[in-house]
A and B are shown apart, each in its own frame.
Chain A
Amino acid sequence: MPDVEQKYERKYGLDKALAGKRAECDGGASYPAVMPNGEMGYMPSRETFKGRLTGLYFDQGDPPWRWYELMVLEDRPPNYPDETVWCEQGFLFIFDDETGEEQR
């Protein structure tokens, strides 16, 4: 989908403070999208993924939305084809490693 990707350019960044944090994402069906390395990857909308954040994020769209990269280590939907997933900030929940509780 090169035209579409160009129209809504992504701006990537790295949040080192989030790298390695445990997180869950209320995702859903994933859709194919171009990853930072230029290969195809997947985004969630309403399925649940659990893993650790890499710290990598991108902003895209209008307002824009921010997406964080989650390495899918613990839980992913059946047949999910990848080891990482992009999670929209509004659906991302981060957990404290020591207490295991969701961070507010």
Chain B
Amino acid sequence: MPANNNPLKTRLTEEWGLEYPVVSFGHCKDVIVEICNAGGLGVYGAAGLSPDDLERDIIWMRERIGNKPFGIDILIPASVPPSGTLEDFEAQIPKEHWEFMKRIKQEYKIPDPDPTKRAEERRRSNPVLTQERARKQLDVLISTKVPILCAAQGNPAFIIPECHAHGVKVFGLIGLVRQARREHEAKVDYIVAHGQDGGGHCGPIGTFTLVPQVVDAVSPTPVMAAGGVASGRQLAAALMLGSVGVWTGTAWLAAKEHDVHPIAQKKGLAARSEDTVRNRWGDGAYSRHVRTKMDDLWDAKEAPPVLPRPMQGILVRDVMGAVRDHEIEEFFPASGGEAWGMINEVKPARQIMYDWANEAMETFERLGISV
């Protein structure tokens, strides 16, 4: 605990001038802005954006948060192809996989995508994840002097000296203790220990087990706890585990300002923790989300093996696009982790943040910890 007797003041809050040791990750710019202006740290998930769109979004957010810190999260994809076009990768998808998706489309009467709908979303969404694109995104981050680069799905060792030379701090997301140790050796500035309860691309170990091991393994590098955190009690617990704050995502999908589709939000709010599932059919990498009919079909024994990135994302793109265009509820995807089981109402992002802070302080008081 810090000497100032406020247990919510940690190295994270002190270094970045935050009110609360809470990082909010998400793909909605409005929520990121709200979090930054409410005393937290917003991290914008930008892996799917073109470098031009990324730069525009950075400018848009800066106009609304001023000099407050924020982060950009991209995938550091050593394990994706170096380069290539949509057509290159489509040609590599086996026939049996195309046939499988065609059968789903026919059996469940899923129409073709409607190009007149979601035009902007369609324009901005690009499933072709390559080393080449990630490199260009990194160049944008550095040239626009983004304060924090968050590196998911790979060791950012190669970019750390360049980032530090330009004043950019690097947060590394890991799922295993040995990955944390490797990133600590590479001198990342913060490690985000991402447990399997989390939504999106999470690791294989539970948060409560992972965090203390990582804290011990990488000290004095500060660690954030991620995965399943959606309350003030969990924030307090994460600090007690030795972390300097929490990295959160699912909770903000229930923020009033979020642009998540109403069907996805409704599904999340209705979901129990056990209604989420961690699998790979979405884009070839493990991620957690609310179970839909598509999960059942990919779990079935007649399903083909999931393809690697970026082919899997390209394979399911048209059908999932049609599901969104025509709002087919049975298949409609709802991202998020086990924390959905704790969330049952939509609130302003600021209110969520303040509720957590109050509950965390009450928890510390209940434990007799001076506040």
User: Total A-B residue pairs with C-beta atoms closer than 8 Å?
Assistant: 86
CB proximity to B under 8 Å, residues A52-104: 60-63, 65, 79, 88, 90-91, 93, 102, 104
Task: Report if A1 contacts B (CB, 8 A).
Answer: yes
- Cα A89 to Cα B305 with chains together (Å): 26
Partner of A45, one of B82, B178, B181, B309: B309
- Cα A46 to Cα B308 with chains together (Å): 10
Task: Report if B280 contacts A (CB, 8 A).
Answer: yes
Number of chain B residues whose Cβ lies closer than 8 Å to a Cβ of chain A: 35
Task: Report if B78 contacts A (CB, 8 A).
Answer: yes
Kindly provide the distance from the CB of A49 to the nearest chain B CB, expressed in whole angstroms.
12
- Cα A61 to Cα B154 with chains together (Å): 15
CB contacts (< 8 Å) of B285 on chain A: these are 28-29, 45-46
Kindly provide the distance from the CB of B172 to the nearest chain A CB, expressed in whole angstroms.
10
Task: Report if B348 contacts A (CB, 8 A).
Answer: no
Task: Report if B363 contacts A (CB, 8 A).
Answer: no
The answer to whether residues A1 and B155 also contact, given A29-B280, A29-B285, A102-B178 and a CB cut-off of 8 A, is: no
Residue pair A45, B305 in contact (C-beta under 8 Å): no
Residue pair A7, B82 in contact (C-beta under 8 Å): yes
- Cα A26 to Cα B178 with chains together (Å): 10
Task: Report if A12 contacts B (CB, 8 A).
Answer: no
CB contacts (< 8 Å) of A88 on chain B: these are 78-79, 154-155
Task: Report if B88 contacts A (CB, 8 A).
Answer: yes
**B309's closest neighbor in chain A, by CB?**
A29
CB proximity to B under 8 Å, residues A1-43: 1, 3-4, 7-8, 26-33, 43
**A30's closest neighbor in chain B, by CB?**
B308
Task: Report if A51 contacts B (CB, 8 A).
Answer: no
Of the candidates B81, B154, B176, B179, the one having the most CB atoms from chain A within 10 angstroms of its own CB is B81
CB contacts (< 8 Å) of B284 on chain A: these are 28-29
- Using a CB–CB cutoff of 8 Å, the interface residues on chain B facing chain A are 77-84, 88, 92, 131-132, 135, 153-155, 157-159, 176, 178-179, 181-182, 280, 284-286, 305-309, 311-312
